[in-house]
Amino acid sequence: MWKIIGFVVLVAVVGCDRANTARSLATPRLYVFEGGVLESDPTRYRLSEVEVQSVPLSIGAYLIVHPQGILLWDAGAVADGERISRSSGVEQRVLRADGQERIVSLGPPLDEQLRTSGYAPTDVTHLALSHYHWDHTANANAFAHATWLVRQVERDAMFHAEPRGASRPATYSALQKSRAVIITTEEHDVFGDGTVIIKHAPGHSEGHQVLYLKLAHTGGVVLSGDLYHYPEERTLGRLPTFEVSEEQTASSRRELDAFLMRTGAKLWIQHDLVGHRALRKAPEYYE
């Protein structure tokens, strides 16, 4: 009995510590999680194999620990609960709503990366997805307790009676009951101090968004979502073949370029395997 009470007290104290750690920070921290490697076909992005530095794509997820809360940005391609192995490097097939199959070489489980960084899924207070495609939503249900930051058009597409081809609705079905903040402005300042801002960047999906972080030492960083996949889309001016609106994507890219010029922020392309590999991974962090 005392052991159980002791355990409960310990869990409560550890939970409290994490909240205190976040509150005691003067500025936000960014943890980069490894989501594995995705087999890809550059022609779906109007690129050839010889034009790209790396054919496979990276998969990232990101934790932003801010004095006012903890935000998870994107939720991976394979849910921890559906992994065929806890080991990294194992290949797992994933079936999308349209019947297409994709192959992911697994990274470490997300819960393990959170834990080694000092956090539990229940510590996450806010969830935002760049968009609802399967390779960004896998673990979303584990964060249904958090406040979900989403646009109405995106939410409508996600819960449409006919699931969108690149989605896996079962991976985010629990969000239907989440407390949601419906974003209606071009920019949404998550914690109210200008350091964590969700920016509207539609085209790849109905309500696609990118995340701007103003970090004290690292400087400005924009997490791309899927505004780009390959860096060569940017340098060679190519668009994916499966946009909801190519015009909107082109316009979102122009607007983001102007923003990057104005602020001096760096663009981190989440699917850019070479760029992603060069980043420090959790439990190390950027601040």
Question: Which residues of the shown chain bind Zn ion in the complex (CB under 5 A)?
Answer: 135, 226
Provide, rounded to whole angstroms, the least separation between the CB of residue 135 and Zn ion: 4
CB 123 within 8 A of CB 19: yes
Q: How far is Cα 134 from Cα 77, in angstroms, rounded to an integer?
A: 6
Provide, rounded to whole angstroms, the least separation between the CB of residue 4 and Zn ion: 44
Residue 194 burial (CB count, 10 A): 11
Provide, rounded to whole angstroms, the least separation between the CB of residue 155 and Zn ion: 18
Q: How far is Cα 130 from Cα 126, in angstroms, rounded to an integer?
A: 13
Q: How far is Cα 218 from Cα 203, in angstroms, rounded to an integer?
A: 29
Single out the residue of 277, 146, 245, 265 nearest to residue 199, CA to CA: 265
Q: How far is Cα 138 from Cα 216, in angstroms, rounded to an integer?
A: 31
Q: Is the CB of 37 or the CB of 215 nearer to Zn ion?
A: 37
User: CA end-to-end span of the chain, whole Å?
Assistant: 43
Provide, rounded to whole angstroms, the least separation between the CB of residue 57 and Zn ion: 7
Provide, rounded to whole angstroms, the least separation between the CB of residue 242 and Zn ion: 11
Q: Is the CB of 34 or the CB of 226 nearer to Zn ion?
A: 226
Query: How does DSSP classify residue 286?
Result: B
Q: Is the CB of 61 or the CB of 142 nearer to Zn ion?
A: 61
Provide, rounded to whole angstroms, the least separation between the CB of residue 217 and Zn ion: 28
Q: Is the CB of 123 or the CB of 226 nearer to Zn ion?
A: 226
Amino acid at 75: A
Both tokens of 274, joined, read 């070479």
Q: Is the CB of 33 or the CB of 119 nearer to Zn ion?
A: 33
Q: Is the CB of 18 or the CB of 200 nearer to Zn ion?
A: 200
